Amino acid sequence: MGDAVKIAEPIVTALAGAFGEFREALGLDLVEHEQRTAATIDEMGRDLRDVKQTAVAALRPRSAPRPVHPRTQIIRAAVAILKGHAFNTDAATLAEKLYTSSTADVVRDFPGFIAKAQTNPAMTSVNGWAAELVGPANLSPLALLAPASTYAALQARGLSLNFNGFGAARLPARSGSGDLAGDFIAEGAGIPVKKAALTSGSISPHKFAVISTFTKEMASYSTPAFEAVVRDLITSDATTAIDTALLGSAAGSAVRPPGLLNGLTSLAPTAGGGVAAIAGDLGNLAAAIPNAVDLVFLMAEATRVRALALCPGLAGVTIISAPQVAATRVIAIDAADFASAEADPSFEASEEATIVSDTGMPVPDMMSAATTSLFQQGLIGIRFLESATWAMRQTGRVAFVDPISW
């Protein structure tokens, strides 16, 4: 028995060692297999989560795209027209490629776009929630192209009409006689009947036009950069042109509407400067426009800043910065009586026209003035045309003082 054990013992030991080595090797393979399996399961889990998120996103209601401001649409249409001329490409097709189909629609039908453009208060755009109470507001192309102009500020506060389809527009206004003021009455007493007298004037359209030129090299700029250049130049040109006429003193004619200061003489300025002079001048201007519904003061930006620095209380007064007003002048106007009307806007571009190189008015005759060939100099001209005019519905609703002493 002892001999058998001695013989069997090394065999058992050898077998045990071999089994241990086998088990160890088998154990390593199992660990590696488990790791690979776990990694595969994790990867499948990530793929499954991605698929789930994609499916949920597809089912989630999509928010409507942010509307593009009409001013931006107009500028983008101008960019497409200019680039189309530079690269001999259809402007509408280029607009759809650079921007959206809505911009292409503006290029195809600019007057139609202006007629359909509208702005509504936030909640009234929802059907069933006061939407039926709000009608579309026709936007003013001139105000859109020159948003910083005095014209745009007054047009937004006054009466805005549309000439489309009409050769003139009537301007109803209240005359000096009669009133509709009510009163308190006793129970059972008769209600007084009042009558107010109205007058009616009319305004006819005048042709407003401006040309801006660009080099063909500029059209090769990236679209955002070129758009910024076009926006700046068109806005600047339109603002200068419209406000120079609006804030002038020229008489109205078949060619242009009258300047707001036509036929007016300055009020006597208050001497001495400082706060007392500001109070005196603004007070006199307000008194010159009695019962103003929306009294507005127009002054150059430097004058406005100086007035606010000397009299911080003027922050509660409506002052519009007007670059075309002389630094020595202040204009007061009842903006509620300002009326404007526009129609038939159009954008056109050319690189073959010859233009008169003169910014003065009236433009000199082409045969005697210096001219510029767009073709020869590699330029593209863009022309904006529109029927537009303005008028005050009543007399005595504008006054000015010049020169101020402050």
pTM above 0.85, yes or no: no
Judge contact between 374 and 359, C-beta under 8 A.
Answer: no
CA distances from 270 to 203, 228, 277 (A): 36, 44, 5
| Amino acid occupying residue 346 | S
Can you give the pLDDT at residue 137? Answer: 40
DSSP-derived secondary structure letter, 92? H
Q: Which residues of the chain have pLDDT under 70?
A: 1-42, 44-45, 47-48, 51-66, 111-140, 164-180, 196-201, 344, 357-368
Q: Let me know the angle formed at the C-alpha of 187 by 185 and 189, rounded to the nearest 5 degrees.
A: 60
Can you give the pLDDT at residue 65? Answer: 58
Can you give the pLDDT at residue 131? Answer: 38
Can you give the pLDDT at residue 203? Answer: 75
Sorted by where each begins, the domain ranges of the chain are 13-57, 274-337+396-401
Can you give the pLDDT at residue 62? Answer: 56
Can you give the pLDDT at residue 370? Answer: 75
In whole angstroms, give the CA distance from residue 49 to residue 46: 5
Cβ neighbours of residue 300 under 8 Å, at least 6 residues apart?
Answer: 321, 322, 323, 325, 326, 327, 329
φ/ψ (deg, to 5) at 362: -75, 160
| Amino acid occupying residue 262 | N
Can you give the pLDDT at residue 171? Answer: 67
Among the listed residues 384, 299, 395, 334, the one whose alpha carbon sits nearest the alpha carbon of residue 159:
334
DSSP assignment of 254-320: SSSPPPTTTT--PBPPPSS-HHHHHHHHHHHHHHHSTT-SSEEEEE-HHHHHHHHHH-GGGGGS-EE
In whole angstroms, give the CA distance from residue 335 to residue 347: 30
Can you give the pLDDT at residue 177? Answer: 56
Among the listed residues 381, 330, 328, 336, the one whose alpha carbon sits nearest the alpha carbon of residue 354:
381
In whole angstroms, give the CA distance from residue 332 to residue 296: 6
Backbone angle region of 377, left / alpha / beta, with phi > 0 → left and psi within -120 to 50 → alpha: alpha
